[in-house]
Every structure is written in structure tokens, then in C-alpha cells.
């Protein structure tokens, strides 16, 4: 592989990685099981107080 081809491959790979990092994901942010349980408890507590 000649030098020019190798350099272009490296630069395109780097550009692809940077572009992929900037893309927004449609996936929801991961919430741990413990955090989900805390949220449920706080919502249940708020609902009981509101009644």
C-alpha cells in the first residue's frame, strides 16, 4: 500500500469516527435499575400526597 493511500485511509477513518460521534441517537438514555426504582418510589410518594 503506498503512502498516499494509507494517509487518505487514516484521515477518512478519523473523519468517519468524528462524524459518528456528532450524530444524535434516537435511543433513550440508559437509566439503571436502582434509579428507576427511586423514580417509581418518588412518583408513588407524590401521588399519595396529592390525593
The number of domains in the chain is 1
Half-sphere exposure in the Cβ direction for 50 (13 Å, CA): 6
Taking the model in full, what pTM does it have?
0.46
pLDDT > 70 in the chain, percent: 90
pLDDT, residue 49, reads 63
Annotate 31-49 with three-state secondary structure: CCHHHHHHHHHHHHHHHHH
Over 80: is that where the pLDDT of 47 sits? Answer: no
Mean residue pLDDT across the chain: 89
Residue 23 is part of which domain span? Answer: 3-50
Over 80: is that where the pLDDT of 20 sits? Answer: yes
Amino acid at each position: 500500500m503506498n503512502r498516499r493511500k494509507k494517509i487518505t485511509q487514516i484521515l477518512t477513518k478519523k473523519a468517519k469516527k468524528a462524524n459518528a460521534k456528532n450524530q444524535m441517537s434516537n435511543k433513550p438514555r440508559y437509566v439503571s435499575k436502582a434509579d428507576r426504582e427511586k423514580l417509581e418510589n418518588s412518583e408513588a410518594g407524590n401521588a399519595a400526597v396529592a390525593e
